[in-house]
């Protein structure tokens, strides 16, 4: 399975709920910027996590 397929599976199979504690101003900036990009804040966070894992070599083919 190539990286793109692995990433698609990671994005699609969501069964773990996670609670984040963030500074209210930080969350407001995230939600506003996500809205400007026509995205959901949770999708932005998910993209950041996947990019970070990929950069660390944790997502392997």
* Residue in this structure with the two tokens 């190539």, named with its chain if needed: 2
Residue boundaries of the structural domains of the chain: 3-12+22-55
Q: Which pLDDT value is given to residue 41?
A: 94
Query: pLDDT tens across 22-61, in order?
Result: 999 999 999 999 999 999 999 999 999 999 999 999 998 7
CB atoms closer than 10 angstroms to residue 31: 13
Tokens of 50: 């996947």
pTM of the predicted model as reported, rounded to 2 decimal places: 0.80
Residue 4 has pLDDT above 80, yes or no: yes
What gap in Å lies between CA 13 and CA 10, rounded to an integer?
Answer: 6
| Predicted confidence (pLDDT) at residue 1 exceeds the cutoff of 80 | no
At 6 the pLDDT is: 87
What is the pLDDT at residue 10?
A: 86
């Amino acid at each position: 399975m190539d990286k793109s397929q692995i990433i698609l599976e990671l994005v699609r199979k969501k069964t773990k709920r996670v609670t984040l504690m963030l500074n209210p101003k930080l969350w407001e900036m995230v939600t506003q910027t996500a809205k400007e990009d026509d995205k959901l804040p949770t999708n932005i966070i998910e993209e950041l996590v996947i990019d970070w894992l990929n950069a660390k070599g944790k997502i392997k083919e």
